[in-house]
Every structure is written in C-alpha cells, then in structure tokens.
Amino acid sequence: MKNYFTLERVTALVIVVSCLGFVDFAGYYGQELIAEIAILAIFAMSLDLLVGYTGLVSLGHAAFLGIGAYATGILTVHMGWNVASSMAAGVIMAGLIAAIIGAFVVRLGGIFFIMITLALSQMFYAYFLKNREFGGDDGMPGIPRLDLEMFGLDASDPAIFAVFTVIVAALVFVLLDLIMNSPFGRYLLAIHQNENRMRSLGAPIGLYKLAIFIVAGMVAGLAGSMQAQHMGFVSPDAMFWTVSGIVLIMVIVGGTGTLVGAVVGAAVVRMMSHELSSLTEYWMMYMGLFFIGIVLFAGDGIYGTLAKYWHRARDPKAPQDLAK
Amino acid sequence: MFTDPTFLFIQTLNGLQLAMLLFLLSVGLSVIFGLMNFINLAHGTLYMLGAYFGLWVYVNTGSFWVALALAPIGVMVVGMVFYVTLIKRLRTAPPLKQVLVTFGLIFVGLDAVRMSWGNLSKSIPTPDVFSQSVTIFGEIYPSYRLFIIGLGVAVFVILYFVLERTRIGSVIRAGVDDRDMVSCLGINVDLAFFGVFCIGCYLAGLSGAVAGAVFPVEPGMDMSILILTLIVVVVGGLGSLKGAVVGSLMIGMAETFGQVFLPQFASVTIYALMVVVLLVRPGGLFPTRAA
C-alpha cells in the first residue's frame, strides 16, 4: 500500500500552515522574514535536487537566481512587460542558460563540477557588475511586484506578499515532490547511489543529469524572480559565489536528499544570521564556525537527524536509512 | 595608443606581475589538490593573512624586509594549525565537505581580520630600494613591480629544481601520480603532503605580503584573488607546476589586456578563456591525471 502521508509531506504541511498562521500576527519584520525564508526555501529546494538527489555539488547555483532576478528586472523596468510574463520569462531564461551550461558540465564529476560551476557563475557576476545599462554594481531599482488585483489583493502589503511567497513555495514543494517520486526521480536517486550500475543498465546518465540541472535552474530562476519582486531591486551581489555557498550550507544544515530538509535549513540559517547580526558586528565568524561544526559533526542535518530518530522510535527493527 | 609598442610592453609587464602573484598562489593550491585531492577554498584567506601579517610586522619593526621574511612563516604556522585541527580529518571526506568547511573558514578568517585590523583599507609602503622608478623605453615603471616578477621567476626556478631534480620532488610527483603505490613503497605520503601543504601556505602568505605593497590591504581582498586562482588551477590542470605557470601567465595577461582593450567585458575575458580551454581540453592544459 502506498503511503501518501509520509513524514516529509506532513512536516511540509505543518511548516506551511504555521507560516500562514504566523503571518497574521507577525509584525512588519516578521512578515518580511517569512517572505525571505520562503524565497530562500524555493532556492534551497532547487539546489537540493542537484546535491541531495543527484549528487551534483554545484557551487554556482546563485547564477540562476541572479538570471531569474535580472530577467524580471530588465523586462519590467526596461521593456515594460507585466510582472507575470516577466516571471515566466525569468524561469525560461534560467532554464535555457542551465541547458547550455549543463550540456558541458554534467559530464564532469566531483571537484571539477564544483570549480567549473563556481567559475561560470562568477562570469555572470562579472558581466552584470560591469554592465552600466543594467546598473552595474549599483544594481537595478524599481522592480514591481506581481499584480494580485484579480484576487482583490495588494501585493505591496508585506503580509499579503508573505502569504503569496509561502503559497508559491508550497506549490514548488508539491511539484518537486511529484517529480522526485516519479520514475524520473527514481532514476536520479539510482544514479546517485550507483552511477556505474545505472550506466551498465543502459540508462542515459548524461541526459538525466542535464534534465534535472535544467529543472533546478528553472526553480532557482523562479526564486530569483520572487526575490527581485520582494526587494524591488536586484544587484550583482545576488549571484556572487558566496550566495551559492550559503544556499549549499542551508541544504546541508537541513539535511540533503529531502525537500523539507532544504526548507528547514533555509529557515534556520536565515533566522540565525538575522539574530546573530543584531547581536554582534562579527556575526559572520560565528556563522562560519556553525557551518564548520554542522558539516563536521552532523552529517544528516537537522531534519535528517530528527527523521532518523522518529523512524527509529516508530519501528526499532526497520532499516535505518528511512530518513530519506 | 593600442598599437604603441611601449604601451604594450608596459601592459605586458603589468600582466607578468599579476601572473607571478597568481603563480605563487595557484602552485600551492594545485599541488595540494594533486597530491591529496583536497580543495582549499580558504587559500585566498591565507593570502589575505599574509598581507595583514606583513603589515603588522612592518608597523612594529619598520622594515619591509623583516615583514617579507616573517609574514609567510606566520601564515605557514596558521596553515599548520588548520591542518592538524581540521584538514587532516577532511582528507578522505567527499569534496562537498571539504568545500563547505573551507568555505566556513573564509567567513571566520574575514571577521578575524576585521576584528584585529578593522574595516579600513591599508597598505604596506614599498621599501626605499624600490622608491625609484626605472625608465623602460622612455616610460616610467615602478621598480617594485619588476621585483615581484623577479621573485615569481625565482620561486618557479627553485620549485622546478626541487620537484624535478631532488628525491623529495620525485616522492611528491609519484604521490600525485599514484598515492597508494607510493605509500606501498614505504614512503610516508602523509608527511609529504604535510610538507607540501606548509609550502603552499608559505607561498600564499608570501604573495599576500608582496601584494600588500601594490594592492590595498583590506578585508575582502581574499575573495577577488581566490576566484582568479581557482581559474588558473582549472585552466592549467590540477596538480602540475607547468599548469600553474602557464595558467597564471594566460590569466594574468588576459585579465590585464582585457581591462585595457575591452573594459566593458573586463573580467568576462578570463572566463571566456577558461571556457575555451575546457572545451578543447576538459582536464585543463597540463593535467597530471585524466579528469
């Protein structure tokens, strides 16, 4: 019998419901924080498709975030498009660029993949940093938010926008959950676990990896478009390589290989940096130490570890890799 | 002015100077990777520490030469501490862990520097010997920059001699080729790696101290140089001295001439160069092993 109420889905539902409940009585900063976390959660989930499910460790994922953000910014501010079509264009643009980049990076493995994704994302950073037309290092202000008039809502209200981002994040979760539980998703997991066996079974490994690279790029592009709308602004900093590093940390902190893990990681890291930066000027040092500690000592991440204990408590005899 | 030979010559010297700094950084990173499959994103942080240590020694002793002698040793000691506490246990870890731990170290290093020396940009004055500029083809050129070029060449010659002509060198080259086999021969590869790691840190510190008299010494100087260094290593091929030299020269020149001829696309030129190289040779120009 198929179990539709997996721990992961139930956890996701609880997170979404509690976020929506919290929006109502969170103040302005709380609502802004929720929107920010929801957007980061989308971004982190997209990276987890590569890192956790497929075993492709990208250190250049921020490029797609930036492409989605710049596409939305350029199309709305310079070309006068409406926001909805600029969002779609941002997603498609990120997908196209992911297809081009992916076509020659998915063959590579391990450290080469890491370094080349890093260098290529810096190429986009360098381009937008120098391009005066799109604001150069000052960035591009004045990006509008999606028009929610047809629902009778005003997206410039932080509460409404927070709810909107949470709903989009929830939809992304459902979509990616469907993809990863489809035969295609199973293929990717199998490639991650034993690439040589899959190759000898005749699976077109490169094609599958390219496909998920494109999906991950498109979802990151969506996150970028949302981020541009949230801040009303985009600058090259959105695609600086440390952004890729931090989202990678989020995935690790939450636990790789589960979509909810990425969401938990995004929330924990964002809230931590928010709290720490209000306490000390040197908060980055403590974040760095926290990252090192998590990577060295908590291999399964927060959600991964909790899920492991949960499954163990429910059925002590079951094999212990159920967390994934 | 773009076809003026004097101008081109001066730009070539500028490119060489950048290339030599990149060489000092990338050779350590590349050989450490080749020998141990360890990727150290905090290599740029060591460069920054070299510059700050140099500044600190200079402020306290007033001598550039003492700073240049001591700062790299200080950086090497920092590297040793990291090796013993963190890196030793990461050697066999998957690349993801290595990247993330050294990524965390970047933040720690950045704030440690900000805590100790503040956010402001500083500089190390060039020593009196180099206060005079030299005249080359009627153009005035700072002699300190020639010193950097000379230093880079000297380091290359020494490294080449040690790697190619001594027993230690052959252990290192053999370790890059086939680590398990060398270890079976009764050679302590771990010790060799530790030695190479220390030298790599020393050279990173040296380039930082040297660069401190040309570029501003400020928090964040690690980030800008790190990406260039990684590109050098990727273009040159992992694990080889030759790759580090050729990669540094190509990137140093492409960056310098790119700034001059295509300022609009300044930094994009080096990435374009990298993409072209990788399309032709996916493992870099002179890889010691197949990618």
Tell me the count of A-B CB pairs closer than 8 A: 122
Q: Choose the closest CB to A110 out of B95, B100, B282.
A: B95
Task: Report residue A225's pLDDT band, with 50, 70 and 90 as the boundaries.
Answer: very high
B103: which chain A residues are within 8 Å (Cβ-Cβ)? 245, 248-249, 291
Q: Which of A112, A132, A240, A276 to mutate to test the interface with B (most CBs of B within 10 A)?
A: A112
Does A114 score more than 90 pLDDT? Answer: no
Which whole number is the average pLDDT over A232-238?
Answer: 90
A248: which chain B residues are within 8 Å (Cβ-Cβ)? 96, 99-100, 103
Does A48 score more than 80 pLDDT? Answer: yes
Residue B154 makes CB contacts below 8 A (sequence gap 6+) with none
Q: Of A22-31, A302-311, B82-91, B201-210, which one has max mean pLDDT?
A: B201-210
Q: What are the tokens at B147?
A: 């010193």
Does A261 score more than 80 pLDDT? Answer: yes
Percent of chain B past pLDDT 90, that is, above it, reads 30
Residue whose structure tokens are 């790789």? A256
Establish if B33 touches chain A: CB-CB under 8 angstroms. Answer: yes
B264: which chain A residues are within 8 Å (Cβ-Cβ)? 130-131
pLDDT in tens, A148-187: 777 777 777 888 888 899 999 999 999 999 999 999 999 8
Shortest Cα–Cα distance, A265 to chain B (Å): 15
Shortest Cα–Cα distance, B161 to chain A (Å): 29
CB contact under 8 A, B104 and A289: yes
Share of chain A residues as helix, strand and coil, in percent rounded to the nearest 5: 80, 0, 20
The 3-state DSSP class for residue A285 equals helix
Q: Of A5-9, A67-71, B182-186, B236-240, which one has max mean pLDDT?
A: A67-71
pLDDT at A323: 44
Is residue A262 domain-resident? yes
DSSP summary character for residue A76: I
Reference A222, options A14, A113, A125, A83; nearest CA is A83
pLDDT in tens, B125-181: 888 778 777 777 777 788 888 899 999 999 999 999 998 899 888 888 888 788 888
CB contact under 8 A, A119 and B37: no
pLDDT at B247: 92
Question: What gap in Å lies between CA B210 and CA B17, rounded to an integer?
Answer: 11
Which whole number is the average pLDDT over A37-48?
Answer: 95
**First-residue to last-residue Cα distance in chain B:** 42
The 3-state DSSP class for residue A141 equals strand
Domain ranges of chain B: 12-220
Question: What gap in Å lies between CA B250 and CA B245, rounded to an integer?
Answer: 9
pLDDT in tens, A268-309: 999 988 888 888 888 888 888 988 888 888 778 888 888 888
pLDDT at B2: 62
Question: What gap in Å lies between CA A152 and CA B115, rounded to an integer?
Answer: 51
pLDDT at B246: 92
Residue A61 in contact with residue A73, Cβ under 8 Å?
no
Higher pLDDT pick, B204 / B129: B204
Number of compact structural domains in chain A: 1
B233: which chain A residues are within 8 Å (Cβ-Cβ)? 115
CB contact under 8 A, B100 and A252: yes
pLDDT at B49: 94
A247: which chain B residues are within 8 Å (Cβ-Cβ)? none
Shortest Cα–Cα distance, B186 to chain A (Å): 29
* Residue A227, amino acid: Q
Question: What gap in Å lies between CA B5 and CA A188, rounded to an integer?
Answer: 57
Is residue A117 domain-resident? yes
Computed over its alpha carbons, how large is the radius of gyration of chain B?
A: 19
**First-residue to last-residue Cα distance in chain A:** 18
Q: Choose the closest CB to B230 out of A118, A285, A296.
A: A118
Question: What gap in Å lies between CA A118 and CA A31, rounded to an integer?
Answer: 32
Question: What gap in Å lies between CA B131 and CA B277, rounded to an integer?
Answer: 40
Q: Which CATH number belongs to the domain containing residue A19 in this structure?
A: 1.10.3470
CB contact under 8 A, A282 and B115: yes
CB contact under 8 A, A296 and B101: yes
Instruction: Among A281-290, B209-218, B256-265, name the one with the lowest average pLDDT.
Output: B256-265
Is residue A1 domain-resident? no
**Strands B133-136 vs A233-234: parallel, antiparallel or unpaired:** unpaired
Question: What gap in Å lies between CA B218 and CA B114, rounded to an integer?
Answer: 9
Residue A220 in contact with residue A94, Cβ under 8 Å?
yes
Question: What gap in Å lies between CA B146 and CA B143, rounded to an integer?
Answer: 5
pLDDT at B287: 77
Q: Which of A105, A252, A281, A295 to mutate to test the interface with B (most CBs of B within 10 A)?
A: A295
pLDDT at A320: 53
CB contact under 8 A, B108 and A292: yes
pLDDT at B289: 58
Percent of chain A past pLDDT 70, that is, above it, reads 97
CA atoms within 13 A on the CB side of A9: 12
Question: What gap in Å lies between CA B179 and CA B92, rounded to an integer?
Answer: 13
Reference A242, options B68, B244, B119, B105; nearest CA is B105
Task: Report residue B198's pLDDT band, with 50, 70 and 90 as the boundaries.
Answer: very high
pLDDT at B272: 82
Q: Could you list the residue range(s) of the whole structural domain that residue A317 is in?
A: 7-323
Q: Region of B37 please: left (phi>0), alpha (psi -120 to 50) or beta.
A: left
Question: What gap in Å lies between CA B262 and CA B140, rounded to an integer?
Answer: 24
Burial of B193 (0-12, 13-18, 19+ CB in 10 A): buried
Q: Choose the closest CB to A130 out of B103, B267, B278.
A: B267
Which whole number is the average pLDDT over A201-219?
Answer: 92
Does A69 score more than 90 pLDDT? Answer: yes
Reference B232, options B22, B41, B42, B62; nearest CA is B22
Percent of chain A past pLDDT 90, that is, above it, reads 36
Reference B251, options B26, B1, B6, B9; nearest CA is B26
In this prediction the ipTM stands at: 0.83
Which whole number is the average pLDDT over B21-28?
Answer: 90
Is residue A174 domain-resident? yes
pLDDT at A167: 92
What SS3 string covers chain B? CCCCHHHHHHHHHHHHHHHHHHHHHHHHHHHHHHHHCCCCCCHHHHHHHHHHHHHHHHHHHCCHHHHHHHHHHHHHHHHHHHHHHHHHHHCCCCHHHHHHHHHHHHHHHHHHHHHHHCCCCECCCCCHHHCCEEEECCEEEEHHHHHHHHHHHHHHHHHHHHHHHCHHHHHHHHHHHCHHHHHHCCCCHHHHHHHHHHHHHHHHHHHHHHHCCCCCECCCHHHHHHHHHHHHHHHHCCCCHHHHHHHHHHHHHHHHHHHHHCHHHCCHHHHHHHHHHHHHCCCCCCCCCCC
